[in-house]
Amino acid sequence: MRLTGKIATVIVAGLAVIAMTSMASAKDKKVDGRTLFREHCKVCHGPDSPNGEYTPMTLIQDQWEDFFDNNYVNTHKDVVDAKHGNKKVTDVITPEMLKKIKKFAVDHAADSEHPMTCG
C-alpha cells in the first residue's frame, strides 16, 4: 500500500512535468507575428480606432518598411498601453517581437502575395 502510494506520487509528478513542458511549447508556437500583431497592434488600431485602423493590408510593403524603420519609435515611444500594464508601447514590445510583427506586416501587406488582415 505504501509502495503503491509512492509510485502514484511519482507518476503524478511526472505527468505534471510533461503537462507543463507541453504547455510551454504550445505557448511558444502560438506567439507568431500574427498573434503579436493582434495583441500588440490591433488593441489600439482596430476598426473605428481614433488612432487609425491598421492591419497588414492597410499599407504596402514599402510603407511598412518605412514605418518600422523610421516612424514606429517616434510615434509610439510616448504611447501608454493600458492592456499591458500601462507601460509604453516601445517598452512592452521587445526587439524580437517587433521583428516578427514587422515580418508579418510586410509579408501580408496590400501589395504582397497574400494580403491579410490580422483576423
- Tell me the C-alpha distance between 18 and 49, whole Å: 42
**Owner of C-alpha cell 488612432:** 51
The answer to the question of residue 75 lying near ligand HEC (CB under 6 A) is yes
The residues that bridge with 80 in the sheet, in sequence order, are 88
Least Cβ distance, residue 41 to ligand HEC (angstroms):
3
Q: Yes or no: say if 101 and 93 are a contact pair by the CB < 8 Å rule.
A: yes
Judged by CB under 6 A, which of 79, 94, 96, 111 binds ligand HEC?
A: 79
The footprint of ligand HEC (CB under 6 A) covers 40-41, 43-45, 51-52, 54, 67, 71, 75-76, 79, 81, 89, 93, 101
